[in-house]
Chains A and B, each alone.
Chain A
Amino acid sequence: EIVLTQSPATLSLSPGERATLSCRASQSVSRYLAWYQQKPGQAPRLLIYDASNRATGIPARFSGSGSGTDFTLTISSLEPEDFAVYYCQQRSNWPPFTFGPGTKVEIK
C-alpha cells in the first residue's frame, strides 16, 4: 500500500499570502496524484487531478506540480474561502486508493 505524508500538518497564513502544501509518496505514483479541499461539515471537493490538472470550475490560483514521489499544491493568493483542510490522494497503485492525512490551512 502506498503511504502518503503531507506537510506541514497546519499552515497559518493571512489572506493574500501564498500557500505551499507538500505531499510525499512512499513510492513513485508517477503523476497519478489528486488534491481535494474539505471544509467543516462538507464533502471533499476535487481541486487538482493527475498532479497538475485543475478540475472543472477551480480557480486559477490553485496549481499543482510534481511527479514521482514529491508533489506540491500552491494557492497563489489565499482568499477567505480557501481556509480548509487539503488532502492528497494517489491512484497509481490500487486497491487501495490512499489519501494523505491532510494539511489544515488556518487563518493567522
Chain B
Amino acid sequence: EVQLLESGGGLVQPGGSLRLSCAASGFTFSNFAMSWVRQAPGKGLEWVSGLSSSGGGTFYAESVKGRFTISRDNSKNTLYLEMNSLRAEDTAVYFCAKDRDSGYYQGVFDYWGQGTVVAVSS
C-alpha cells in the first residue's frame, strides 16, 4: 500500500524557515517524480514544486522560486521542501504527491499524503 506521510509543519514568524519532509513507502520511491502541492485555508489547490525521480530536475512555481528548495533522498525514501523567507501568504496545508507513472515527471498525482500545516504569522 502506497503511503506518504508529511511532517515538519508548524507556526513560524514571517521571514522564518521550515523544512518539510514526506516519508514514502509501498512503492519504489526512486522510480517516481514527486511534488508538493499546497492549499491555503478555504482555498483551492496550488502546485508548489516538483522534482524528477533522480532529483536532477527541479521545478518551482513563480511564487516560491528563490525561497523554496525541493530535494529528495532516495536512500531514505524521503522528499523534502526547505522553505525560507516565509510570508503570510505561504500559510497552507502542504501535501506531497506521487507521480502516477515512473520515469519522467508527468504531473499526474495519483497518491497524496494527508498534509502538514504551515502557519506564517507574527
* Stretch from B24-32, B54-62, B75-83 that touches the partner: B54-62
In the complex, which residue of chain A has the Cβ closest to the Cβ of B112? A43
C-alpha gap A105/B113 in the complex (Å): 23
The reply to whether B107 and A94 contact each other, CB–CB distance below 8 Å, is yes
* Residues on B with beta carbons closer than 8 Å to the beta carbon of A94: 59, 107
The reply to whether A46 and B110 contact each other, CB–CB distance below 8 Å, is yes
Q: What's the minimum C-beta distance from B59 to chain A, rounded to whole angstroms?
A: 5
The reply to whether B110 and A95 contact each other, CB–CB distance below 8 Å, is no
Q: What's the minimum C-beta distance from B92 to chain A, rounded to whole angstroms?
A: 13
Q: What's the minimum C-beta distance from B50 to chain A, rounded to whole angstroms?
A: 8
The reply to whether B46 and A46 contact each other, CB–CB distance below 8 Å, is no
In the complex, which residue of chain A has the Cβ closest to the Cβ of B115? A43
Chain A 37-63 residues near chain B, CB threshold 8 A: 38, 42-46, 49-50, 55-56
Interface of B is mostly: strand
The reply to whether A44 and B106 contact each other, CB–CB distance below 8 Å, is no
Chain A: how many interface residues by the 8 Å CB criterion? 24
* Residues on B with beta carbons closer than 8 Å to the beta carbon of A101: 44
A64 within 8 A of B: no
The reply to whether A46 and B100 contact each other, CB–CB distance below 8 Å, is yes
The reply to whether A55 and B59 contact each other, CB–CB distance below 8 Å, is no
* Residues on A with beta carbons closer than 8 Å to the beta carbon of B59: 94-95
Beyond A38-B45, A94-B59, A97-B50, 10 extra complex contacts between A and B, CB < 8 Å? A43-B112, A44-B37, A44-B109, A46-B109, A49-B110, A87-B45, A89-B47, A89-B109, A97-B35, A97-B47
Interface residues of B (CB under 8 A from A): 35, 37, 44-47, 50, 59-62, 95, 100, 106-115
